[in-house]
Structure 1
């Protein structure tokens, strides 16, 4: 699900004023005081997150102590999991009725766009079968290969030979270390579905 104009739903705690928008007449010398956030404000994302959290907790969800964007709800024999990433929402559970109730509740509050059954979320591809759910990152991997110009590279049996040891003082310094850090960060994200790359990523870090 996607929340329409998510940041506009956050209420402001500070006094913030702005010049009247075009087409809006006010007396000379007057300005507008914002009651809610606008895109571009530093606190806009925080206020939206606080508002969403308040409303979803009021609906009976519990917030994870380990990941504040993860919420769960247990009702009799049913169990729901809700994940919020900025303005994207992923809901899963054992009861389609409860899932529909959550969607209706959120739509009344914020107006949401239901994107249907999840197939792609934050670089993760979700596939369903009678045997269960499979999560992969095939497209994500292909994008890395293309971006690094390694489409013609040969495959290997292991991500990195176990005998390789890197040191901080070996070799010349990189001309653009930010590019290296960004690439390693992308590889770390791949650990979600490819834990076999964990050792290689640890060495690269």
Structure 2
């Protein structure tokens, strides 16, 4: 066994230490995504997606290079391990892997522009935080315009640091937001 010193990189994740804790980020990986997409000279976007987007119901031409879309979305999926703010949009973009349209590709490029403005963001794990676990979850009702299925999401904190998160489309369709279950005696 060999002591390699303080951890700096692990599986592409950069570890930055400070007096208050340490930050986990994919700064170099994010810059690689921006470079690979040819967006180094692009103007950064302040938000990753338009408010009230219509990506699920858009009709336009099929994107001519679906492998390029698959590769970019796959890179986004790995990036969500240190960027909970991207979970929702990556969830949305992942739904169109079978036949991505030009509008989906443009949404993916907008996310690259967002990453350009926030390439060093990550998770900050505080060293002085208490060891209490707090969880938040939320669900909407019938948000998908095509399937009418609901989205659920959760995030779990250890102290003030996020440690787990997920966004998922429900498997079943509910007719209301509060369905009654019959009581059997």
Q: TM-score range by the shorter chain?
A: 0.3 to 0.5
TM-score by length of 2: 0.46
RCO (CA 8 Å, sep 6+): is it higher in 1 or 2? 2
Q: Judging by fraction of residues, say which structure has more helix.
A: 1
TM-score by length of 1: 0.42
